[in-house]
Amino acid sequence: MDFNQEVLSVIAEVCQDDIVKENPDIDIFEEGILDSFGTVELLLAFENHFNITVPITEFDRDAWNTPNQIIKQLNELR
C-alpha cells in the first residue's frame, strides 16, 4: 500500500467512516466527521503509524480539513 492509501486508511479508522477514502476532498470538520478530540486522536495515530509528529500548536484546521490536504501536509513533514 502506498503512503497516500495508508494515510487514508488511518483517517478512515480514526473517523470510523470510509467516506474519506471515497471522497478525499470532503471537509471532515464541516461535515462533522472529525471534531477536536478526534483531531488529537488522528495526530497521535499519525505519530504511531508513520512516526510523524505534528505539534497541535502547528495544526491549522484550514490546511488539514480534507484527506487530500492531510496527505499533502504529511508528505511535507516526512
Residue 8 has pLDDT above 90, yes or no: yes
Percent of the chain's residues with pLDDT above 90: 88
Tell me the C-alpha distance between 71 and 64, whole Å.
9
Q: What single-letter DSSP state applies at residue 33? A: S
Instruction: Give yes or no for a contact between 67 and 7, defined as CB atoms under 8 angstroms apart.
Output: yes
Whole-number average pLDDT of the chain: 94
3-state helix, strand, coil in the chain (%, to 5): 60, 0, 40
Say what the pTM is: 0.93
For the segment 29-54, the average pLDDT, to the nearest whole number, is 95
C-alpha cell at 47: 505519530
User: For the residues 52-64, what does the mean pLDDT come to?
Assistant: 89
